[in-house]
A and B are shown apart, each in its own frame.
Chain A
Amino acid sequence: MQPVVRLRSAVCLLGRFPALAGVDLDVRDREVVLLSGGNGAGKTTLLRLLAGLVPLRAGTGEVLGHDLATDRRGHRRLVSLVGHETACYDDLTVHENVRFAARASGVDAPPEPVLEQLGLQPLAAVPHRRLSAGQRRRLAFAVALARRPRLLLLDEPHAGLDAEGRAALDQVLSGTAQSGLTVVLASHELDRVRGLASREVVLTAGQAHGSVPEPASVPDPEAAATDSRPPARATGERSSG
Protein backbone atom coordinates (compact mmCIF):
# COMPACT_ATOMS: atom_id res chain seq x y z
CA MET A 1 0.00 0.00 0.00
CA GLN A 2 1.16 3.50 -0.80
CA PRO A 3 2.68 5.26 2.18
CA VAL A 4 0.53 8.07 3.52
CA VAL A 5 3.59 10.27 3.89
CA ARG A 6 6.92 10.10 2.14
CA LEU A 7 9.52 12.81 2.61
CA ARG A 8 13.10 12.81 1.43
CA SER A 9 15.59 15.50 2.40
CA ALA A 10 12.79 17.96 2.92
CA VAL A 11 13.83 21.56 3.52
CA CYS A 12 11.43 24.22 4.78
CA LEU A 13 12.02 27.84 5.58
CA LEU A 14 10.47 30.05 8.23
CA GLY A 15 11.30 33.40 6.75
CA ARG A 16 14.98 32.85 6.09
CA PHE A 17 15.57 30.34 8.82
CA PRO A 18 15.84 26.70 7.71
CA ALA A 19 13.33 25.22 10.14
CA LEU A 20 13.68 21.88 8.38
CA ALA A 21 17.12 21.17 7.03
CA GLY A 22 16.75 17.69 5.60
CA VAL A 23 13.97 15.44 6.82
CA ASP A 24 13.28 11.88 5.77
CA LEU A 25 10.00 10.43 6.85
CA ASP A 26 7.75 7.54 5.93
CA VAL A 27 4.35 7.04 7.44
CA ARG A 28 2.19 4.07 6.57
CA ASP A 29 -1.55 3.76 6.65
CA ARG A 30 -3.10 3.63 10.16
CA GLU A 31 0.24 4.20 11.84
CA VAL A 32 0.61 6.46 14.83
CA VAL A 33 3.96 8.19 14.52
CA LEU A 34 5.39 10.18 17.39
CA LEU A 35 7.63 13.13 16.56
CA SER A 36 9.93 13.99 19.37
CA GLY A 37 12.75 16.46 19.70
CA GLY A 38 13.69 19.53 21.66
CA ASN A 39 12.15 22.97 21.39
CA GLY A 40 12.91 24.57 18.09
CA ALA A 41 13.73 21.25 16.48
CA GLY A 42 11.18 21.87 13.75
CA LYS A 43 8.24 19.69 14.80
CA THR A 44 5.59 22.33 14.19
CA THR A 45 7.01 23.19 10.79
CA LEU A 46 7.09 19.54 9.82
CA LEU A 47 3.43 19.13 10.70
CA ARG A 48 2.53 22.25 8.76
CA LEU A 49 4.50 20.93 5.82
CA LEU A 50 2.51 17.72 5.89
CA ALA A 51 -0.71 19.76 5.95
CA GLY A 52 0.50 21.62 2.86
CA LEU A 53 0.52 24.96 4.65
CA VAL A 54 4.19 25.75 4.07
CA PRO A 55 5.98 25.28 0.77
CA LEU A 56 8.70 22.72 0.27
CA ARG A 57 11.93 24.53 -0.44
CA ALA A 58 14.06 21.54 -1.43
CA GLY A 59 13.85 17.76 -1.40
CA THR A 60 10.77 15.71 -2.23
CA GLY A 61 7.53 15.15 -0.40
CA GLU A 62 4.32 13.26 -1.00
CA VAL A 63 1.25 13.16 1.23
CA LEU A 64 -1.76 10.99 0.40
CA GLY A 65 -0.58 10.75 -3.16
CA HIS A 66 -0.18 14.51 -3.65
CA ASP A 67 3.24 15.87 -4.54
CA LEU A 68 3.97 18.70 -2.12
CA ALA A 69 6.17 20.47 -4.61
CA THR A 70 3.50 20.91 -7.24
CA ASP A 71 0.19 20.50 -5.46
CA ARG A 72 0.23 21.23 -1.77
CA ARG A 73 -3.45 22.15 -1.70
CA GLY A 74 -5.03 19.06 -3.18
CA HIS A 75 -4.89 16.90 -0.08
CA ARG A 76 -5.93 19.50 2.48
CA ARG A 77 -9.47 18.29 2.88
CA LEU A 78 -8.12 14.91 3.83
CA VAL A 79 -5.87 16.32 6.52
CA SER A 80 -6.68 17.87 9.88
CA LEU A 81 -4.14 19.83 11.83
CA VAL A 82 -4.55 20.67 15.49
CA GLY A 83 -1.99 23.33 16.25
CA HIS A 84 -1.42 25.70 19.10
CA GLU A 85 -4.45 27.82 18.19
CA THR A 86 -7.96 26.49 17.86
CA ALA A 87 -8.74 28.07 14.46
CA CYS A 88 -12.24 28.80 15.72
CA TYR A 89 -14.39 31.90 15.87
CA ASP A 90 -14.84 33.54 19.24
CA ASP A 91 -18.48 34.48 18.72
CA LEU A 92 -19.70 31.17 17.35
CA THR A 93 -20.81 28.38 19.66
CA VAL A 94 -19.14 25.00 19.97
CA HIS A 95 -21.82 23.49 17.78
CA GLU A 96 -21.55 26.21 15.16
CA ASN A 97 -17.79 26.08 14.97
CA VAL A 98 -17.75 22.34 14.45
CA ARG A 99 -20.58 22.51 11.96
CA PHE A 100 -18.93 25.26 9.92
CA ALA A 101 -15.59 23.48 9.76
CA ALA A 102 -17.25 20.23 8.74
CA ARG A 103 -19.46 21.77 6.09
CA ALA A 104 -16.58 23.83 4.72
CA SER A 105 -14.69 20.59 4.22
CA GLY A 106 -17.65 18.99 2.50
CA VAL A 107 -18.79 16.84 5.42
CA ASP A 108 -22.49 17.27 5.87
CA ALA A 109 -23.01 15.15 8.98
CA PRO A 110 -24.38 16.75 12.16
CA PRO A 111 -21.73 17.50 14.79
CA GLU A 112 -23.43 15.70 17.69
CA PRO A 113 -21.50 12.42 17.55
CA VAL A 114 -18.12 14.15 17.59
CA LEU A 115 -19.25 16.45 20.39
CA GLU A 116 -20.32 13.38 22.33
CA GLN A 117 -16.99 11.72 21.76
CA LEU A 118 -15.24 14.67 23.36
CA GLY A 119 -17.77 15.38 26.05
CA LEU A 120 -18.65 18.74 24.52
CA GLN A 121 -22.37 18.08 24.13
CA PRO A 122 -23.30 19.97 27.33
CA LEU A 123 -21.31 22.95 26.01
CA ALA A 124 -22.79 22.90 22.52
CA ALA A 125 -24.42 26.33 22.84
CA VAL A 126 -21.50 28.03 24.53
CA PRO A 127 -19.54 30.52 22.43
CA HIS A 128 -15.84 29.87 21.96
CA ARG A 129 -14.83 32.96 23.90
CA ARG A 130 -16.44 31.65 27.07
CA LEU A 131 -14.73 28.28 27.02
CA SER A 132 -11.88 27.42 29.33
CA ALA A 133 -8.49 26.62 27.87
CA GLY A 134 -9.01 22.89 28.26
CA GLN A 135 -12.43 23.06 26.66
CA ARG A 136 -11.00 25.02 23.76
CA ARG A 137 -8.40 22.34 23.15
CA ARG A 138 -11.15 19.75 23.09
CA LEU A 139 -13.10 21.88 20.64
CA ALA A 140 -10.08 22.11 18.34
CA PHE A 141 -9.85 18.37 18.48
CA ALA A 142 -13.58 18.00 17.75
CA VAL A 143 -13.27 20.28 14.73
CA ALA A 144 -10.38 18.19 13.46
CA LEU A 145 -12.28 14.93 13.78
CA ALA A 146 -15.57 16.26 12.43
CA ARG A 147 -13.88 16.89 9.10
CA ARG A 148 -13.34 13.15 8.72
CA PRO A 149 -9.68 13.36 7.78
CA ARG A 150 -7.48 10.49 6.67
CA LEU A 151 -4.42 12.00 8.24
CA LEU A 152 -4.54 13.65 11.63
CA LEU A 153 -1.69 15.94 12.59
CA LEU A 154 -1.43 16.91 16.22
CA ASP A 155 0.96 19.49 17.62
CA GLU A 156 1.45 18.98 21.35
CA PRO A 157 -2.12 17.74 21.74
CA HIS A 158 -1.77 17.01 25.44
CA ALA A 159 -0.71 20.54 26.33
CA GLY A 160 -3.59 22.24 28.06
CA LEU A 161 -5.93 19.31 27.50
CA ASP A 162 -8.10 18.35 30.44
CA ALA A 163 -8.69 14.82 31.72
CA GLU A 164 -11.75 14.20 29.61
CA GLY A 165 -9.89 15.32 26.53
CA ARG A 166 -6.90 13.15 27.27
CA ALA A 167 -9.11 10.11 27.57
CA ALA A 168 -10.75 10.88 24.23
CA LEU A 169 -7.38 11.49 22.61
CA ASP A 170 -5.98 8.20 23.89
CA GLN A 171 -9.01 6.45 22.43
CA VAL A 172 -8.46 7.97 19.03
CA LEU A 173 -4.79 7.07 19.05
CA SER A 174 -5.40 3.48 19.97
CA GLY A 175 -8.27 3.01 17.54
CA THR A 176 -6.62 3.92 14.26
CA ALA A 177 -6.64 0.38 12.97
CA GLN A 178 -10.43 0.37 13.03
CA SER A 179 -11.06 3.99 12.16
CA GLY A 180 -8.68 4.05 9.21
CA LEU A 181 -7.05 7.18 10.53
CA THR A 182 -3.32 7.82 10.32
CA VAL A 183 -1.83 10.02 13.00
CA VAL A 184 1.37 11.99 13.26
CA LEU A 185 1.79 13.78 16.53
CA ALA A 186 4.46 15.93 18.06
CA SER A 187 4.63 15.68 21.79
CA HIS A 188 6.77 16.22 24.83
CA GLU A 189 4.76 13.76 26.87
CA LEU A 190 6.83 10.87 25.65
CA ASP A 191 5.99 8.44 28.43
CA ARG A 192 2.30 8.71 27.80
CA VAL A 193 2.42 8.52 24.05
CA ARG A 194 5.14 5.97 23.47
CA GLY A 195 2.81 3.20 24.47
CA LEU A 196 0.27 4.29 21.89
CA ALA A 197 2.59 5.14 19.05
CA SER A 198 3.84 2.51 16.64
CA ARG A 199 7.02 4.43 15.98
CA GLU A 200 9.04 7.38 17.11
CA VAL A 201 10.95 9.76 14.88
CA VAL A 202 13.41 12.09 16.49
CA LEU A 203 13.81 15.54 15.01
CA THR A 204 17.09 17.24 15.74
CA ALA A 205 17.94 20.70 14.46
CA GLY A 206 15.60 20.35 11.51
CA GLN A 207 16.74 16.92 10.48
CA ALA A 208 15.20 13.50 10.92
CA HIS A 209 16.06 10.10 9.59
CA GLY A 210 15.01 6.52 9.99
CA SER A 211 12.58 6.24 7.13
CA VAL A 212 12.37 2.50 7.45
CA PRO A 213 9.95 1.68 10.24
CA GLU A 214 11.77 -0.01 13.05
CA PRO A 215 10.25 -2.17 15.75
CA ALA A 216 8.61 -0.27 18.60
CA SER A 217 11.80 0.19 20.60
CA VAL A 218 12.68 3.78 21.31
CA PRO A 219 15.83 5.14 19.66
CA ASP A 220 18.23 6.95 21.94
CA PRO A 221 18.20 10.67 21.02
CA GLU A 222 21.95 10.81 21.67
CA ALA A 223 22.54 8.07 19.15
CA ALA A 224 21.00 10.23 16.39
CA ALA A 225 23.66 12.87 16.98
CA THR A 226 26.59 10.48 16.90
CA ASP A 227 25.20 8.30 14.13
CA SER A 228 28.01 7.17 11.90
CA ARG A 229 25.87 7.32 8.79
CA PRO A 230 26.25 10.72 7.15
CA PRO A 231 23.03 12.70 7.20
CA ALA A 232 21.22 12.96 3.90
CA ARG A 233 21.41 16.65 3.21
CA ALA A 234 19.23 18.76 0.99
CA THR A 235 21.06 18.91 -2.29
CA GLY A 236 20.64 22.06 -4.31
CA GLU A 237 17.93 24.67 -4.42
CA ARG A 238 14.63 24.44 -6.17
CA SER A 239 15.07 25.52 -9.77
CA SER A 240 12.21 28.00 -9.50
CA GLY A 241 14.69 30.25 -7.64
Chain B
Amino acid sequence: MNLIQEALLVAGKDLRIEARSRVTTQQVLPFGLIVLLLFAFALDPDRGVLSRVAPGLFWVAVLLGTLLSIGRAFAIEAENGALDGLRLSGLDGSALFLGKAGAVAVQLVALEVLLTAGVVVLFNVGLGGIAPLVLATIAATVGLAAVGTLYGVLSAGLRVRETLLPVLLLPVVAPVLLGASRAWEAAIDGASGDAWPWVALLGIFAVLFTGIGMLVFGPLLEES
Protein backbone atom coordinates (compact mmCIF):
# COMPACT_ATOMS: atom_id res chain seq x y z
CA MET B 1 0.00 0.00 0.00
CA ASN B 2 1.27 3.46 -0.69
CA LEU B 3 1.30 6.36 1.75
CA ILE B 4 -2.10 7.73 0.80
CA GLN B 5 -3.77 4.34 0.95
CA GLU B 6 -2.31 3.66 4.38
CA ALA B 7 -3.39 7.09 5.59
CA LEU B 8 -6.90 6.50 4.30
CA LEU B 9 -7.00 3.14 6.05
CA VAL B 10 -6.13 4.75 9.37
CA ALA B 11 -8.43 7.74 8.88
CA GLY B 12 -11.21 5.41 7.85
CA LYS B 13 -10.72 3.35 10.98
CA ASP B 14 -10.90 6.45 13.21
CA LEU B 15 -13.97 7.82 11.47
CA ARG B 16 -15.72 4.47 11.60
CA ILE B 17 -15.08 4.35 15.33
CA GLU B 18 -16.54 7.85 15.62
CA ALA B 19 -19.58 6.82 13.60
CA ARG B 20 -20.18 3.97 16.05
CA SER B 21 -19.34 5.67 19.32
CA ARG B 22 -20.60 9.14 18.39
CA VAL B 23 -18.32 10.79 20.91
CA THR B 24 -17.78 13.84 18.71
CA THR B 25 -21.45 14.30 17.92
CA GLN B 26 -22.65 13.65 21.44
CA GLN B 27 -19.88 15.26 23.44
CA VAL B 28 -17.56 17.53 21.52
CA LEU B 29 -20.22 19.38 19.49
CA PRO B 30 -22.38 20.13 22.53
CA PHE B 31 -19.25 21.21 24.35
CA GLY B 32 -18.55 23.80 21.65
CA LEU B 33 -22.05 25.18 21.89
CA ILE B 34 -21.91 25.31 25.66
CA VAL B 35 -18.69 27.30 25.46
CA LEU B 36 -20.42 29.84 23.20
CA LEU B 37 -23.24 30.05 25.67
CA LEU B 38 -20.84 30.60 28.53
CA PHE B 39 -19.21 33.41 26.63
CA ALA B 40 -22.56 35.13 26.53
CA PHE B 41 -22.87 34.73 30.30
CA ALA B 42 -19.38 36.06 30.80
CA LEU B 43 -19.55 38.96 28.38
CA ASP B 44 -23.17 40.04 28.76
CA PRO B 45 -25.03 40.27 25.44
CA ASP B 46 -26.54 43.60 26.43
CA ARG B 47 -23.27 45.44 26.15
CA GLY B 48 -23.15 45.09 22.39
CA VAL B 49 -19.74 43.50 22.56
CA LEU B 50 -20.55 39.95 21.55
CA SER B 51 -21.01 40.36 17.81
CA ARG B 52 -17.77 42.30 17.56
CA VAL B 53 -15.70 39.74 19.41
CA ALA B 54 -17.53 36.76 17.95
CA PRO B 55 -14.72 35.64 15.61
CA GLY B 56 -12.27 35.38 18.51
CA LEU B 57 -14.80 33.56 20.66
CA PHE B 58 -15.51 31.18 17.81
CA TRP B 59 -11.90 30.24 17.46
CA VAL B 60 -11.33 29.88 21.19
CA ALA B 61 -14.25 27.46 21.25
CA VAL B 62 -12.75 25.54 18.31
CA LEU B 63 -9.39 25.46 20.06
CA LEU B 64 -10.88 24.00 23.20
CA GLY B 65 -12.78 21.50 21.07
CA THR B 66 -9.49 20.52 19.44
CA LEU B 67 -8.09 19.58 22.84
CA LEU B 68 -11.01 17.21 23.33
CA SER B 69 -10.76 15.76 19.84
CA ILE B 70 -7.06 15.07 20.13
CA GLY B 71 -7.53 13.55 23.55
CA ARG B 72 -10.19 11.26 22.14
CA ALA B 73 -8.12 10.36 19.07
CA PHE B 74 -5.43 8.92 21.31
CA ALA B 75 -7.71 7.58 24.00
CA ILE B 76 -9.05 5.03 21.51
CA GLU B 77 -5.51 3.83 20.95
CA ALA B 78 -4.78 3.66 24.65
CA GLU B 79 -7.69 1.38 25.56
CA ASN B 80 -6.76 -2.25 24.99
CA GLY B 81 -3.20 -1.37 24.09
CA ALA B 82 -3.94 -0.61 20.44
CA LEU B 83 -0.84 1.58 20.19
CA ASP B 84 1.23 -1.59 20.25
CA GLY B 85 -0.89 -2.88 17.39
CA LEU B 86 -0.07 0.22 15.37
CA ARG B 87 3.62 -0.13 16.11
CA LEU B 88 3.64 -3.78 15.09
CA SER B 89 1.64 -3.19 11.95
CA GLY B 90 4.62 -1.73 10.16
CA LEU B 91 2.47 1.16 8.91
CA ASP B 92 4.57 4.12 7.90
CA GLY B 93 4.79 6.86 10.54
CA SER B 94 3.84 9.55 8.03
CA ALA B 95 0.79 7.59 6.94
CA LEU B 96 -0.29 7.12 10.55
CA PHE B 97 0.12 10.83 11.11
CA LEU B 98 -1.85 11.85 8.03
CA GLY B 99 -4.58 9.37 8.83
CA LYS B 100 -5.08 10.42 12.42
CA ALA B 101 -4.73 14.14 11.70
CA GLY B 102 -7.10 13.79 8.78
CA ALA B 103 -9.77 12.17 10.93
CA VAL B 104 -9.38 14.89 13.56
CA ALA B 105 -9.65 17.57 10.86
CA VAL B 106 -12.90 16.10 9.58
CA GLN B 107 -14.36 16.16 13.08
CA LEU B 108 -13.17 19.72 13.63
CA VAL B 109 -14.90 20.81 10.43
CA ALA B 110 -18.14 19.36 11.77
CA LEU B 111 -17.61 21.35 14.96
CA GLU B 112 -16.87 24.52 13.01
CA VAL B 113 -19.99 24.22 10.88
CA LEU B 114 -22.10 23.90 13.99
CA LEU B 115 -20.36 26.76 15.78
CA THR B 116 -20.69 29.00 12.72
CA ALA B 117 -24.42 28.50 12.93
CA GLY B 118 -24.03 29.15 16.65
CA VAL B 119 -22.38 32.55 16.30
CA VAL B 120 -24.74 33.61 13.57
CA VAL B 121 -27.73 32.77 15.72
CA LEU B 122 -26.51 33.52 19.22
CA PHE B 123 -24.21 36.47 18.59
CA ASN B 124 -25.99 37.97 15.63
CA VAL B 125 -23.04 37.81 13.30
CA GLY B 126 -23.54 38.48 9.61
CA LEU B 127 -21.27 36.35 7.48
CA GLY B 128 -19.49 38.08 4.66
CA GLY B 129 -16.43 37.43 2.50
CA ILE B 130 -17.15 33.74 2.21
CA ALA B 131 -14.03 32.93 0.21
CA PRO B 132 -11.43 34.13 2.71
CA LEU B 133 -13.64 32.87 5.54
CA VAL B 134 -13.72 29.33 4.22
CA LEU B 135 -10.08 29.24 3.20
CA ALA B 136 -8.94 30.63 6.52
CA THR B 137 -11.02 28.02 8.29
CA ILE B 138 -9.62 25.18 6.23
CA ALA B 139 -6.02 26.30 6.71
CA ALA B 140 -6.52 26.84 10.42
CA THR B 141 -8.18 23.45 10.81
CA VAL B 142 -5.35 21.65 9.05
CA GLY B 143 -2.84 23.47 11.25
CA LEU B 144 -4.70 22.63 14.45
CA ALA B 145 -5.16 19.00 13.49
CA ALA B 146 -1.50 18.66 12.53
CA VAL B 147 0.03 20.18 15.65
CA GLY B 148 -2.59 18.52 17.82
CA THR B 149 -1.83 15.08 16.42
CA LEU B 150 1.88 15.68 16.86
CA TYR B 151 1.55 16.59 20.52
CA GLY B 152 -1.12 13.96 20.93
CA VAL B 153 1.23 11.14 20.09
CA LEU B 154 3.99 12.75 22.11
CA SER B 155 1.87 12.60 25.23
CA ALA B 156 -0.03 9.44 24.26
CA GLY B 157 1.66 6.96 26.54
CA LEU B 158 2.02 9.28 29.48
CA ARG B 159 -0.28 9.10 32.43
CA VAL B 160 -0.44 12.89 32.70
CA ARG B 161 -1.49 13.30 29.09
CA GLU B 162 -4.77 15.09 29.82
CA THR B 163 -3.09 17.96 31.62
CA LEU B 164 0.08 17.92 29.58
CA LEU B 165 -1.54 18.26 26.17
CA PRO B 166 -3.05 21.72 26.72
CA VAL B 167 0.12 23.20 28.18
CA LEU B 168 2.12 21.92 25.22
CA LEU B 169 -0.36 22.62 22.47
CA LEU B 170 -1.93 25.98 23.25
CA PRO B 171 1.19 28.20 23.14
CA VAL B 172 2.20 26.68 19.82
CA VAL B 173 -1.17 27.30 18.17
CA ALA B 174 -1.42 30.90 19.38
CA PRO B 175 -0.63 32.17 15.84
CA VAL B 176 -3.52 30.09 14.49
CA LEU B 177 -5.93 31.67 16.93
CA LEU B 178 -4.55 35.07 16.05
CA GLY B 179 -4.61 34.61 12.29
CA ALA B 180 -7.96 32.90 12.09
CA SER B 181 -9.68 35.48 14.29
CA ARG B 182 -8.24 38.40 12.34
CA ALA B 183 -9.13 36.78 9.02
CA TRP B 184 -12.70 36.21 10.12
CA GLU B 185 -12.99 39.77 11.41
CA ALA B 186 -11.73 41.18 8.14
CA ALA B 187 -13.99 38.95 6.09
CA ILE B 188 -17.07 39.77 8.17
CA ASP B 189 -16.32 43.51 8.10
CA GLY B 190 -16.21 43.34 4.34
CA ALA B 191 -12.50 44.05 4.15
CA SER B 192 -11.57 40.81 2.45
CA GLY B 193 -8.32 42.29 1.26
CA ASP B 194 -7.11 42.44 4.84
CA ALA B 195 -8.00 38.82 5.37
CA TRP B 196 -5.79 37.29 2.69
CA PRO B 197 -2.45 37.88 4.38
CA TRP B 198 -3.75 36.11 7.46
CA VAL B 199 -4.97 33.26 5.28
CA ALA B 200 -1.46 33.01 3.88
CA LEU B 201 0.00 32.84 7.39
CA LEU B 202 -2.42 30.09 8.32
CA GLY B 203 -1.51 28.23 5.17
CA ILE B 204 2.20 28.41 5.93
CA PHE B 205 1.55 27.19 9.46
CA ALA B 206 -0.52 24.28 8.15
CA VAL B 207 2.06 23.18 5.61
CA LEU B 208 4.98 23.56 8.02
CA PHE B 209 3.46 21.54 10.81
CA THR B 210 2.02 18.89 8.53
CA GLY B 211 5.55 18.38 7.25
CA ILE B 212 7.02 18.28 10.73
CA GLY B 213 4.32 15.91 11.89
CA MET B 214 4.97 13.49 9.05
CA LEU B 215 8.63 13.45 9.99
CA VAL B 216 8.40 12.97 13.71
CA PHE B 217 5.23 10.95 14.28
CA GLY B 218 6.98 7.60 13.71
CA PRO B 219 9.86 8.26 16.13
CA LEU B 220 7.51 9.70 18.72
CA LEU B 221 5.25 6.65 18.50
CA GLU B 222 8.20 4.48 19.42
CA GLU B 223 8.90 6.43 22.56
CA SER B 224 5.39 6.69 23.91
Q: Which residues of A contact B (CB under 8 A)?
A: 51, 53, 73, 76-77, 79-81, 83-92, 96, 100-101, 103-106, 127-128, 143
**Chain B residues near A101 (CB, 8 Å)?**
85, 89
Interface string of B210-223 (1 = CB under 8 A from A): 00000000000010
Which A-chain residue is minimally distant from B218 (CB atoms)? A73
**Chain A residues near B86 (CB, 8 Å)?**
104
For residue B145, give the distance in angstroms from its CB to the closest CB of chain A.
20
Interface string of B192-224 (1 = CB under 8 A from A): 000000000000000000000000000000100
Task: Tell me if A80 and B80 are in contact (CB < 8 A).
Answer: no
A219 to B76, CA, bound (A): 43
Within 8 Å by CB of B80, from A77, A90, A105, lies A90
A106 to B95, CA, bound (A): 14
Interface residues of B, dominant DSSP: helix
Would you list the 4 A-B pairs with minimal beta carbon distance, nearest first?
A85-B81, A87-B85, A77-B90, A104-B89
For residue B122, give the distance in angstroms from its CB to the closest CB of chain A.
32
A83 to B90, CA, bound (A): 18
Which A-chain residue is minimally distant from B14 (CB atoms)? A89
A168 to B222, CA, bound (A): 32
Q: Check: B82 CB closer than 8 A to any chain A CB.
A: yes
Task: Tell me if B17 and A87 are in contact (CB < 8 A).
Answer: no
How many A-B pairs with Cβ below 8 Å? 76
Which A-chain residue is minimally distant from B6 (CB atoms)? A104
Which B-chain residue is minimally distant from A102 (CB atoms)? B89
**Chain A residues near B13 (CB, 8 Å)?**
89, 92, 100
A79 to B84, CA, bound (A): 12
**Chain A residues near B80 (CB, 8 Å)?**
85-90, 128
For residue A82, give the distance in angstroms from its CB to the closest CB of chain B.
11
Within 8 Å by CB of B79, from A51, A53, A83, A90, lies A90
A84 to B82, CA, bound (A): 12
Interface string of B79-123 (1 = CB under 8 A from A): 111101111111100000000000000000000000000000000
For residue B138, give the distance in angstroms from its CB to the closest CB of chain A.
28
**Chain B residues near A96 (CB, 8 Å)?**
16
For residue B112, give the distance in angstroms from its CB to the closest CB of chain A.
24
